[in-house]
Structure formats: structure tokens, C-alpha cells
Amino acid sequence: MKRLALVLVALAAATSAANADDRIAPVTDPTVKQECGGCHMAFPAGLLPARSWRRMLDGRADHFGEDLALSPETADLIAGYLSVNAGDTATRGLARKYMRWVAPDGAPLRITENPAFLRKHPFPDSTWSDPKVVTKSNCLACHAGAAQGDFERGDFEKGGRTRPPF
Ligand code: HEC
Ligand code: HEC
């Protein structure tokens, strides 16, 4: 009995270590959640470097065609939070993988153009244009737990193939 308990503890530890690599810290700051989570999910800070977040907030009057209408104080607060938690501050896990593709002085504005993203999302156009998805940035269409930082690959394994959940 004792031995079984030990095995279970070891298994649980192994599973959570594996899962840790498919997880990325979600946005927890209430202001960032509110101001950056209204039109799309509040994307995890770790998927872009600090330079990108600053550039994005500097360009807030034309954010992919939208004026975010943020006061300078709120923009500073958001840029500060996202930068402190940015991908280039991470030492391991998904953020490191995404940062590998970003040039040392690069400040991309899109997560969905990163080769790390594209390699794991090699879907046909029909998937992206599906009414349930519409755009690559709609992470929640496929990753139900994305707002909690959960991008588990296991959710997608069906019959030995990896595909979107619909
Ligand atoms: C008024 C609506 C709106 C708000 C509020 C908003 N965004 Fe966006 N955001 C957009 C649109 C529209 C796009 C482009 C979506 C697309 O092409 O799929 C976008 C795209 C993005 C992308 C790129 C997604 C990709 O394709 O990789 C990031 C990153 C992003 N926003 C971050 C933020 C941050 C940070 C905030 C808060 C400061 C914010 N957004 C607030 C409308 C908004
Ligand atoms: C059309 C469905 C779909 C959309 C939309 C989508 N994903 Fe995924 N995602 C998947 C599938 C399927 C996998 C599993 C791929 C694999 O393991 O080979 C995956 C895997 C991942 C992984 C884990 C694999 C890895 O190591 O990179 C991350 C992280 C991820 N997605 C992030 C995102 C983010 C961030 C967004 C939104 C900007 C997003 N996804 C949008 C379907 C989707």
C-alpha cells in the first residue's frame, strides 16, 4: 500500500512536470485583464518580449486598426505589468521556446506569426475560417483553458493525430 502511494506521488510529479511545459502564466492583473481582455483574450505576457509590449502600448491609438483610448497612466501600468512578465524574462518553458525566434532587437506585435506558433498550428485555411475560429488569435476557440494558462496538447490527441477539437 505504502509502495503504491509512493508510485502515485511520483507519477503525479512526473505529470505536472510535463504539463508545466504546456502551460504559461495567465494575466492576473485586474486592469490588464479588463483593458486587454475585452476584444480577445488577455494574451499571456510570456509569449512576447518586453520590447513588443512597450511598442504595442506606445502604438495604442492604432492597435490593429483600433484606438485603445487608454490614459498614459493606464498604458504605463499595463506596459509595466506585461514587461515584467514578458517572454524574455523567462528561463524555461513555452516562453523560452517562443523567444528563440525573436531577433535580439525584434519587437513583433503578433504571437500568431511566430514560427513556434505556426509549427504547432499547421491547419488548413478551412480551419482558420471556420465560424467557430474566424482568426488565429482566437485561442479560446480551441484552448478552453487558455485564460488559466492551459494550452495542454493532450486535449487534442484523437486517434493518434493532433487536431483542433471540432
Ligand atoms: C478594441 C478592441 C481591442 C482591445 C481593447 C485590445 N485589442 Fe488587441 N487586438 C485587437 C484586434 C482587432 C487585433 C487583431 C486581431 C486579429 O487579427 O485576429 C488585436 C490583436 C492583438 C495581438 C496580436 C494577436 C496575434 O495575432 O498574435 C496582441 C498581442 C494584442 N492584441 C494585445 C493586446 C493588448 C496587450 C491589449 C491591451 C492593452 C489589447 N490587445 C486590447 C483589438 C483589441
Ligand atoms: C484552431 C484551433 C486552435 C487555435 C485557434 C489556437 N490553437 Fe493552439 N493548439 C491547437 C492544437 C490542435 C494544438 C496541439 C498541437 C500539437 O501538439 O501538435 C495547439 C497547441 C498549442 C500550444 C502548445 C504547443 C506548443 O508547445 O507550442 C500552445 C502554447 C498554443 N497552442 C498556443 C495558442 C495560442 C497562444 C493561441 C492564440 C493566439 C492558439 N494556440 C490558438 C489548436 C489551436
**pLDDT 10s digits, 101-152:** 999 999 999 999 999 999 999 999 999 999 999 999 999 999 989 999 988 7
Instruction: For residues 25 and 47, give the distance between their C-alpha atoms in angstroms, rounded to a whole number.
Output: 10
Q: What Å distances lie between residue 40 and 33, 35, 49, CA to CA? A: 10, 10, 19
Lowest mean pLDDT of 55-69, 106-120, 149-163, name the range.
Answer: 149-163
* pLDDT (average), residues 28-55: 98
* pLDDT (average), residues 60-89: 98
Instruction: For residues 124 and 8, give the distance between their C-alpha atoms in angstroms, rounded to a whole number.
Output: 40
Lowest mean pLDDT of 6-20, 34-48, 64-78, 107-121, name the range.
Answer: 6-20
Shortest-distance ligand to the CA of residue 155: 2
List all residues whose CB is within 6 A of at least one atom of ligand 2.
22, 47, 94, 111-112, 116, 120-121, 123, 127, 133, 136-139, 141-143, 151, 153, 156, 162-164
* Residue to substitute in 24, 32, 35, 39 for testing ligand 1 pocket (most ligand atoms within 8 angstroms of CB): 39
* pLDDT (average), residues 3-12: 52
Q: How far is CA 58 from the centre of its chain?
A: 21
Looking at residue 14, its pLDDT comes to: 46
Ligand 1 centroid, distance to 63 Cα (angstroms): 7
Pairs from 117-125 (Cβ < 8 Å, separation ≥ 24): 123/163, 123/164
Atom 6 in ligand 2: residue holding the nearest Cα: 139
* Residue to substitute in 139, 140, 155, 156 for testing ligand 2 pocket (most ligand atoms within 8 angstroms of CB): 139
pLDDT band at 23 (very low <50, low <70, confident <90, very high): confident
Q: Which three cell numbers stand for residue 127?
A: 480551419
DSSP state of 150: B
